[in-house]
Amino acid sequence: MKCTLCEKEIGDIESAIEEGWMPQFYVGEQEYDVACPTCSEKYLQMGADGEMELRPEYTKTFMDSSSYSPPPKSESYKLPAHLL
């Protein structure tokens, strides 16, 4: 498994659970796969609906970027370098 945001890898689901990986998160209505603990802390927040979502300051960059195209679930999207 890879972190959707930074592409850090982890061996298996059990290790991911033990290390605190987020199983999924949202950018707008688009669902994305796992996020490592470092990216979860830096880029994610709990939304009003109780789901984890990308923080607004990063969501705007995603949605306003002309080069942004949401990948289908299970494909990694690396944050632009200036956001890391």
pLDDT per position as a tens digit, 33-79: 899 999 999 999 999 999 999 998 887 766 665 344 444 444 555 55
Name the residue with tokens 């960059």. 61
**What pTM, to 2 d.p., does this model score?**
0.70
Q: Given a cut of 80, is residue 82 above it in pLDDT?
A: no
Residue 33: its pLDDT value, please? 87
Of 6 and 9, the one with more pLDDT: 9
Amino acid identity at 28: G
Asked whether the beta carbons of 6 and 37 are under 8 A apart, the reply is no
d(CA 49, CA 11): 30
